[in-house]
Amino acid sequence: MKYQNFYQESIAHPEQFWSEQAKQLDWFKVPKNILSKDAFNYNQWFEDGELNLSYLCIDKHINDGFGAQNAIIYDSPVTNTKQHITFNQLHHEVSKLAGGLQGLGLQKGDTCIIYMPMIPQALYAMLACARIGVIHSVVFGGFAPHELAIRIDDSKPKVIITASNGVEIERIIPYKPFVDEAIEKAKNKPERVVVFDRQLGVEIPNKSYDINYTTLVAESPSVAPVSVKSTHPSYILYTSGTTGTPKGIIRDTGGYATALKFSMKYIYGVNEGETFWAASDVGWVVGHSFIAYGPLLNRNTSVLFEGKPIRTPDASTFWRVISEHNVKAMFTAPTAIRAIKKEDPEGEFIKRYDLSCLKYQFLAGERCDVATLTWAEEQLGIPVIDHWWQTESGWPMLANMVGVDLQEIRPGSAGSPVCGYDIQILDEDGEQVESSVEGYVAVKLPLPPGTLSNLWGNPERFKSGYLDRFPGYYFSGDGGYKDEDNYVFITGRVDDIINVAGHRLSTAEMEEIVASHSDVAECAVFGVHCELKGQKPLGLVVLKSNETPGKQQTIQKEIIQDVRKEIGAVASFRDVLVVNRLPKTRSGKILRKLLRNIADEQQYNIPSTIDDVSIIEEIKTVYQTHKIGIHN
Ligand code: COA
Ligand code: AMP
């Protein structure tokens, strides 16, 4: 099969194409209505179909005779644990936890927050929710109680499932106390908190709403999967937007299952029974799609890794895991490869392992620089494939579809459009631009199955944020260009979102926190280049009064602490500089893009609307003094 034909088929006849793909699933009720419009006149897939994700990920494989196959391999260098979990065992854990959750009063359509580290119980919790039609919302463990509280108030969960703690290298991260603090802050109080005690000697504060996870599972009956509509939300996943409030991306069930099954086969090139590893976290979309649901739907063994690419214990960990667990295709962020390259530039660790099982290395989550891609290609001797997608899409939009046929790899490009995505580069007026011309990356509607169906409780923001900018298109928020062969090069966000180590963060949210410090008169937070993490946030502040250097330092430390406390350690907010003034337009708008471009030594035009051009030299001097930007 040729990629071009397959792709063209998906664009020319989307209904036919996706109804064929949907046949790969075991539906409780096979859909007849393939593509229709919802109440917001937006596409919805397989409206009259019914199915259950937990059934497809577990029961189906047992029914097919694969109960003894490993479903999950939990590999945790931070706790020295390795655990192989078969589909039979997964069934036992998930169906009893689902029974327990039902016993706590959770019903189809209710919401449940999962705030857990990378342990099997996190996957059990997701699958248990799916089993009974409960809409889960997994919150990344690196977020602070304040962020968790925002998500509690928005999704209003009846129950939160958590664990005693996480482990970051050798540091214990208190999860349960964070949940208690978040509940304290939230207006909407959940009824119950189910706590998994990791037995790592961490004291768990006792609250009246607590339920012990292990006891709950032991004492509850197994329950069967319930049938849900294809359009039933399987989960809400919050992601950073351009304001301080995160957006709750809603994912459907039937379209998602179809897209993931398709992805495993045609994008990642893995067959049933093979092992797949996405080195991410269940709190991100990668974790939802390619640690949990995708591999399990496709009867792959999914590796659940609790560690880092380096320091757990060293830069050989990835290669050990691949070789030990016979991984066929692996997915990580370019940052992880950069971190490994820094520790092991000659690839000495790589040579020590038999990596013949590994056929493809996938990278995504942030822009992949050519040097990183080339280094990985040279060291591994296999195709290293950059591909592009977002929380919103739920699965890749640009890739090299190796399961169809491997195309030439063009470093710097995230590949060609994946089946179903009619990707266009538009100018300000929504007109398609010529090849090599940079513009806004948009996808012609309808989007294929599995992409976002709306924003939780905020359809207006959904419409204004994604659909109104270019009528007839979904606007991705990224800029980029195509070459003459339809390879797309993503150049970065065109809004206030930044990507730090593959983690999506909002500078607007950080700016709100910095601005609320009592000594700050005004400020700007924006992303600058970082050799390791791709980008990092930088804050410039103007203080209300002239302070001594000592007092300035104290204020800087307080600001950094405030951001860490409100958003979490994951923000990696470590640089705040005091400046005398900020460049603005005559109407008072801070020129953040200019500040960023100067730091990154990018070409910049001085806007004619700037109120005082002399400030540019002042800013350059501050950057040079503090070694900010490209030469950091
Ligand atoms: N729970 C609690 N805290 C967490 C956390 C979690 N799940 N994940 C990260 N953090 C904390 C870290 O401990 C760190 O805290 P610190 O400032 O006190 O040291 C902070 O958040 C920043 O974490 P991170 O961005 O991971 O940086 P790092 O310096 O600890 O590690 C790398 C650097 C390169 C090893 C790491 O960023 C990495 O593995 N990147 C790969 C990216 C990736 O997998 N992205 C997923 C998207 S596909
Ligand atoms: P998230 O929603 O957290 O997955 O982040 C999505 C954003 O990450 C995208 O909008 C891009 O800005 C960026 N991104 C993801 N993958 C890539 C890639 N392969 N190349 C460039 N940017 C990427």
How many angstroms does the Cα of residue 367 sit away from the middle of ligand 2? Answer: 7
User: Would 112 be classed as within a structural domain?
Assistant: yes
Helix (H, G, I), strand (E, B) or coil at 420: coil
CB of 121 within 6 A of ligand 1: the answer is: no
Last residue of a domain, one of 424, 445, 477: 477
pLDDT of residue 167: 98
Last residue of a domain, one of 477, 508, 540: 477
How many angstroms does the Cα of residue 383 sit away from the middle of ligand 2? Answer: 20
Q: Do 418 and 557 sit in the same domain of this protein?
A: no
Atom of ligand 1 nearest to the CA of 168: 13
pLDDT of residue 629: 67
Domain at 444, CATH number:
3.40.50.12780
User: Would 332 be classed as within a structural domain?
Assistant: no
Q: Do 187 and 301 sit in the same domain of this protein?
A: yes
**Residue whose CB lies within 8 A of the most ligand 1 atoms, among 335, 504, 567, for a mutation test:** 335
Last residue of a domain, one of 477, 509, 543: 477
Give ∠ CA 48-27-248 in degrees, rounded to 5: 65
Domain at 573, CATH number:
3.30.300.30
User: Would 437 be classed as within a structural domain?
Assistant: yes
Q: What is the DSSP string of 367-389?
A: PPPHHHHHHHHHHH-S-EEE-B-
How many angstroms does the Cα of residue 204 sit away from the middle of ligand 2? Answer: 37
Cβ count within 10 A of residue 346? 9
**Residue whose CB lies within 8 A of the most ligand 2 atoms, among 289, 440, 474, 504, for a mutation test:** 504
Atom of ligand 1 nearest to the CA of 283: 7
Structural domain harbouring 299: 3-307+387-477
Q: pLDDT per residue over 404-447, tens digit each?
A: 999 999 999 999 999 999 999 999 999 999 999 999 999 999 99
pTM: 0.96
pLDDT of residue 607: 84
pLDDT of residue 603: 85
pLDDT of residue 630: 60
- Which of the residues in the chain have pLDDT under 70? 629-632
Q: Can you read off the two tokens belonging to residue 268?
A: 């990642």
Q: Do 471 and 511 sit in the same domain of this protein?
A: no
CB of 287 within 6 A of ligand 1: the answer is: no
Q: Do 78 and 177 sit in the same domain of this protein?
A: yes
User: Would 369 be classed as within a structural domain?
Assistant: no
CB of 534 within 6 A of ligand 1: the answer is: no
DSSP letter at 486 equals S
Q: How many residues does the chain have?
A: 632
Q: Can you read off the two tokens belonging to residue 371?
A: 């040097």
Atom of ligand 1 nearest to the CA of 500: 25
**Residue whose CB lies within 8 A of the most ligand 1 atoms, among 118, 143, 168, for a mutation test:** 168
User: Would 124 be classed as within a structural domain?
Assistant: yes
Q: Do 473 and 503 sit in the same domain of this protein?
A: no
Residue 533: nearest ligand to its CA? Answer: 1
User: Would 287 be classed as within a structural domain?
Assistant: yes
User: Would 228 be classed as within a structural domain?
Assistant: yes
CB of 280 within 6 A of ligand 1: the answer is: yes
Alpha carbon distance 151, 113 (integer Å): 8
How many angstroms does the Cα of residue 280 sit away from the middle of ligand 2? Answer: 14
Q: Do 540 and 591 sit in the same domain of this protein?
A: yes
User: Would 508 be classed as within a structural domain?
Assistant: yes
Q: Do 269 and 396 sit in the same domain of this protein?
A: yes
Q: Do 473 and 606 sit in the same domain of this protein?
A: no
CB of 165 within 6 A of ligand 1: the answer is: no
User: Using DSSP, how many helices (H) and how many strands (E) does the chain show?
Assistant: 21, 32
Q: pLDDT per residue over 533-543, tens digit each?
A: 999 999 999 99
pLDDT of residue 125: 99
How many angstroms does the Cα of residue 285 sit away from the middle of ligand 2? Answer: 11
Q: Do 196 and 51 sit in the same domain of this protein?
A: yes
Instruction: Please report which residue ranges of 172-283 form alpha helices under DSSP H.
Output: 175-185, 213-219, 254-262
Ligand 2 shell residues, CB under 6 Å:
239, 285, 364-368, 386-388, 390-391, 414, 476-478, 490, 493, 499, 504
Q: Do 542 and 465 sit in the same domain of this protein?
A: no
Helix (H, G, I), strand (E, B) or coil at 154: helix
Q: Do 467 and 524 sit in the same domain of this protein?
A: no
Burial 180-192 (b: 16+ CB within 10 A, else e): bbbbeebeeebeb
CB of 282 within 6 A of ligand 1: the answer is: no
Q: Do 167 and 53 sit in the same domain of this protein?
A: yes
Q: Can you read off the two tokens belonging to residue 454?
A: 């709306």
Domain total in the chain: 2
Q: Can you read off the two tokens belonging to residue 631?
A: 């030469």
**Residue whose CB lies within 8 A of the most ligand 1 atoms, among 572, 573, 574, 575, for a mutation test:** 572
